[in-house]
Amino acid sequence: MKEKEEAKELVDKYKYRIVRGVEIEQMSISLAKQCALICVDEIIKSLRHLKHSFTFDEIKYYEKVKREINKL
């Protein structure tokens, strides 16, 4: 998934609360972005603890996702 798509998907997951297929609540975009950024920060923190060679590329990917979230 591209960084921009990942960013939008994460923000949308926080923005809308859906129960049984019906949207019942909508969070402000600002708050949804803050939640998504916290999520990405936690992913990055977890990746740093793994210390495998492949995690460097994943960390770079999620840093780009953070930038895309801020652009939304």
What pLDDT is stored for residue 66 in this prediction? 97
Maximum average pLDDT range among 13-17, 49-53, 58-62: 58-62
What pLDDT is stored for residue 54 in this prediction? 73
**Angle 29-50/3-15 helices, nearest 10 degrees?**
120
Q: What is the pTM of this model?
A: 0.83
Split at pLDDT 50, 70, 90, the class of 61 is very high
User: Interior CA angle at 7 toward 39 and 67, to 5°?
Assistant: 85
- In Å, how far are 25, 26, 48 from 61, measured between CA atoms? 30, 28, 13
* pLDDT top residue among 53 and 9: 9
What pLDDT is stored for residue 18 in this prediction? 64
